[in-house]
Amino acid sequence: MKIACLGGGPAGLYFAISMKLRDPNAEIVVIERNKPDDTFGWGVVLSDETLTNLAANDPVSAAAIRSHFAYWDDIAVHFKGTKTVSTGHGFCGIGRKQLLMLLQERARELGVELRFQTHVESVAAYAEEYDLVVAADGLNSRARSEVATEFEPDIDVRACKFVWLGTHQKFGDAFTFIFEETEHGWVWAHAYQFDNDTATFIVECSAETWEKFGFGEMSQQESIEVCQRIFAKHLDGHALMTNANHIRGSAWLSFPRVLCKRWSYRNIALLGDAAATAHFSIGSGTKLALESAAALAELVHTEKTLETAFARYEDERRTEVLRLQSAARNSLEWFEDVERYFELDPVQFNYSLLTRSQRISHENLRLRDKAWLENAEGWFQEKAGAAQGTRRAPMFAPFRLRDMELKNRVVVSPMAQYKAVDGTPTDWHLVHYGERAKGGAGLLYIEMTCVSPEGRITPGCPGFYAPEHEVAWKRIVDFVHTETEAKICAQIGHSGRKGSTRVGWEGTDKPLKNGNWPVLSVSDLPWSSENQTPRAMTRADMDLVRDQFVAAAEMADRCGFDMLEIHAAHGYLLSSFITPVTNNRTDEYGGSLENRMRYPLEIYHAVREIWPENKPISVRISANDWVGEKGVTPQEAVEVAKMFQQAGVDICDVSAGQTTELARPVYGRMFQTPFSDRIRNETGMATMAVGNIYEPDHVNSILLAGRADLVCLARPHLTDPYWTLRAAASLGDTVEAWPDPYLPGGDQIRRLAERAAEMAAQDRVV
Ligand SMILES: Cc1cc2nc3c(=O)[nH]c(=O)nc-3n(C[C@H](O)[C@H](O)[C@H](O)COP(=O)(O)OP(=O)(O)OC[C@H]3O[C@@H](n4cnc5c(N)ncnc54)[C@H](O)[C@@H]3O)c2cc1C
Ligand SMILES: Cc1cc2nc3c(=O)[nH]c(=O)nc-3n(C[C@H](O)[C@H](O)[C@H](O)COP(=O)(O)O)c2cc1C
């Protein structure tokens, strides 16, 4: 078999080696435009685990690489004059040049022809001459562009600018991040040692800062001088160096995230950065290139045809590549948005940095560096007002809003039960909410409770509009206050165009089979073609509904609720004012955001007027309509939250979606938390995160990273009212108390958790 590898980077060389090992008779040539030692870049990060995988493919090159590894265990973060070090991270690195030299040597030894200083002009010519062409020509792959109609690349050029430099300054055994504030904005460095006397020093900043410095117009040497000045106190007089002299211009880059719909066409396969890139901040590009090269060689060797080999290559490698790309995207977005986090305390900033890719969880950090994590937990507790020296998980930190004191940060999110009769809560509600209040969460929400009969979503929704409602709710609130330490929040709302629909299990948002009542909304747009057309509200309607909100809030106060939430999310009445997908008014309540917010703010002010000064009010919003620029975007949600914040709202409950049938949400673990993070850290407003958060680890990491102040769990509380107390048992927390009659059960679950933890620790030692 005649094989051409276009590009002599890690991917091309390692494929050639892996193929030659399997098929010594194959004629393999690697074609590289540069000279053998003419390589851009400094060190690359790999891991012991990657090398173990590679050793199974070729023990010789793996051993050679391992013998040149520099190991380091710590991550050091320099931020606002502090240096924070955590340990247990276990990286290793090698010079890129060294790596390529070792791979070149191994390839030569196996009989691969290495043809340097040869520029590939056209992949088509090689595809004619060779049986197999492996296009491993890097992130700007010419082969990929030439056959773009087949590979369908999707290239997303990211916002930050970076330059890959080196230095002889020592960073010891720490992967080091340095953040420096300059006259033109923040600039940061990712630095790590990769041999005895050289370290990689990648300098990065926002495009805006880069423009202000004028880096684009500078020569490489001029850029370096500016960077040396910025990082002078970390360089101890050592110079920053470039080895990209073969590149004309400044050598600053914008990272292109490359995805390709297909990785093969006829006898050509894309490999390494040509097929998919992973941002350098998670250091996995070389790992992906090497592992994919070995996999492709194995399949080409074992499969009967190239076609089936390529099909399996794409199938088997794509999942792993997408997994790493997703972590890389989280990480690069963190750096793109890093200016948002500069107000954080260094401890929290560091935690946020360490958990940015969402691959490292709270408990995973404990395994890496218990002392550091406990210290961070102590900092969190103290800041929350707990007694000095408290060492408990962040979810068990107290929280205060006005005079309401919560014993912990877990919230039972509002969930419609559809069990009310004519708006009156029943014994179902007493038992349901009673159980959840006993379950340990600091704050318990009742479901959306409607301000009028027409404002109900379904006939099973409860209300705050008749005397019997007040009696029934008061009974529930009294139980919660008498028997538990939980605080209880009333969510009040009006269904708008999503009203007069069936109870959840008979078809969410479907109109009633009979007995429909007329519905109101901001505009006369129905929820769907099946639903009735609402009447667009007149000013008189607005006055009426505002007064209904006020009366409902008064009733909630008389019932003894500790907190009130105005429901302005999920496409119900107030939400439909805010979002342009439902609001097409041309008066002062439609058009600009200021106009769209006018009525929801009017409601808030009217309610705040009568709601006791010492009790907090929250607003729930949909921070993303999931329809792109046509609707509310996470960016616009920051403005929405800011307007509520300026009006005096105490906390923003950050949900998303359900505002239009056209929404295309992107689900996943904690998928709405980034919206809360953004609002909290761009406005300074307290927030609650919600949405597919189901493990104690999620809650703790959201809180300690400063992505929210409270964490709401809905569905997990449907199946387990005792979610919080179980979490306490699993984390070894003995302070959270089970209700007295349940103490024996609590003791048992704690002992079982301790035993499970001991066994897990033993497994780790073995
Ligand atoms: C700043 C930075 C830091 C990084 N840090 C890390 C890290 O710490 N760890 C890590 O694992 N990865 C890191 N990476 C990523 C890593 O360098 C790449 O993912 C990896 O090199 C991919 O290997 P490759 O062989 O596919 O591409 P490349 O290494 O880019 O190799 C492609 C080769 O093809 C050659 N070539 C291109 N076009 C032609 C042509 N027309 N004719 C002939 N030859 C051609 C090029 O000269 C080059 O030698 C980093 C990348 C950057 C930009
Ligand atoms: C059965 C059910 C009923 C819900 N009812 C309400 C409600 O009345 N008010 C509200 O704001 N959200 C309501 N939600 C949304 C939840 O509060 C929460 O935002 C959503 O379920 C995502 O959280 P989770 O992934 O923890 O379930 C409801 C969710 C469920 C599952």
Q: What pLDDT, in 10s, does the model give residues 722-734?
A: 999 999 999 999 9
pLDDT number for residue 91? 83
Percent of the chain at pLDDT > 90 equals: 89
Sign of CA dihedral 573, 578, 583, 584: positive
Which of the residues in the chain have pLDDT under 50? none
Q: Nearest ligand to the C-alpha of residue 122?
A: 1
CA of 139 to the centre of ligand 1 (A): 7
pLDDT at 615: 98
Q: List, as one string, the DSSP characters of 85-127.
A: EE----EEEEEHHHHHHHHHHHHHHTT-EEE-S-----HHHHH
Cα–Cα distance, 503 to 272 (Å, whole number): 52
- Cα(485)–Cα(18) distance, rounded to whole angstroms? 64
Write out pLDDT tens, residues 608-619: 999 999 999 999
Q: What is the pLDDT of residue 658?
A: 96
How many whole angstroms separate alpha carbon 608 and alpha carbon 615? Answer: 10
**What residue's CA is closest to ligand 1, atom 53?**
280
Sign for the pseudo-dihedral over CA of 619, 625, 630, 635: positive
Q: What's the CA-to-centroid distance between 655 and ligand 2, angstroms? A: 9
At residue 766, the pLDDT reads: 57
What average pLDDT does the structure give for the chain?
Answer: 95
* pTM strictly above 0.85: yes
Choice from 413, 443, 575, 702 to test ligand 2 binding pocket (greatest atom count within 8 A of CB):
413
pLDDT reported for residue 197? 87
Classify 640 in phi/psi space as left (phi over 0), alpha (psi -120 to 50) or beta: alpha
Ligand 1 center–CA 111 separation, angstroms: 23
Contact 60, 110 (CB under 8 A): no
Distance 412 CA to ligand 2 centre (A): 10
Residue whose Cα lies nearest atom 13 of ligand 2: it is: 415
* Burial of residue 38, with CB atoms counted within 10 A of its CB: 0-12 exposed, 13-18 middle, 19 or more buried: middle
Among protein residues, the one with the nearest Cα to ligand 1's atom 2 is 280
Q: What ranges make up the beta strands (E) of 98-251?
A: 113-115, 132-135, 153-167, 174-182, 185-195, 198-205, 240-241
Cβ-based neighbours of 149, under 8 Å, separated by 6 or more? none
Distances (CA, A) of 474 to 294, 447, 467, 606: 67, 15, 11, 23
Looking at residue 49, what is its pLDDT?
82
> Tell me, what's the pLDDT at 326?
87
Ligand of minimum distance to the alpha carbon of 691: 2
Query: Residue 99: nearest ligand to its CA?
Result: 1
* Spatial distance between the Cα atoms of 758 and 589, rounded to a whole number of angstroms: 61
Q: Using the structure block, give the residue that is written with the tokens 């897990």.
A: 760
Q: What is the distance between the alpha carbons of residues 432 and 567, in angstroms, rounded to a whole number?
A: 21
Contact 701, 361 (CB under 8 A): yes
* Catalytic residue ranges: 572
Dihedral sign, Cα of residue 667, residue 668, residue 669, residue 670: negative
Cα of first residue to Cα of last residue in the chain, in angstroms, is 46
Could you say which ligand is closest to the alpha carbon of residue 619?
Answer: 2
C-alpha span between 593 and 642 (Å, rounded): 12
CA–centroid distance, 141 to ligand 1, in Å, is 10
399, 406 contact by CB (below 8 A): yes
Which of 611, 613, 609, 585 is closest to 599 using CA atoms?
585
pLDDT score at 320: 87
Residues 551, 600 contacting (CB under 8 angstroms): no
Pocket of ligand 1 (CB under 6 A): 7-12, 31-34, 41, 44-45, 119-120, 136-138, 142, 164, 202, 272-274, 280, 283-287, 289
- Expressed in angstroms and rounded, the spacing between residue 33 Cα and the centre of ligand 1 is 13
As for ligand 2, residues whose beta carbon falls within 6 Å of it are: 413-416, 447-448, 491, 504, 567, 569-570, 620, 655, 690-693, 713-716
Let me know if 196 is exposed, middle or buried by CB neighbors in 10 A (0-12, 13-18, 19+): exposed
- H or E element: which one contains 300? helix 285-302
Q: Looking at residue 283, what is its pLDDT?
A: 78
Residue nearest to atom 10 of ligand 2 (CA): 414
| Cα separation, 75 vs 57, whole angstroms | 31
> Cα(551)–Cα(547) distance, rounded to whole angstroms?
6
In angstroms, the CA 271 to CA 708 distance is 40
Which one of 18, 33, 201, 268 would you pick to mutate in the ligand 1 pocket, going by the greatest count of ligand atoms within 8 A of its CB? 33
Q: Which residues touch 101 (CB under 8 Å, ≥6 apart)?
A: 36, 37
Q: Which pLDDT does position 90 carry in this prediction?
A: 84
Residue bearing the CA closest to ligand 1, atom 37 = 137
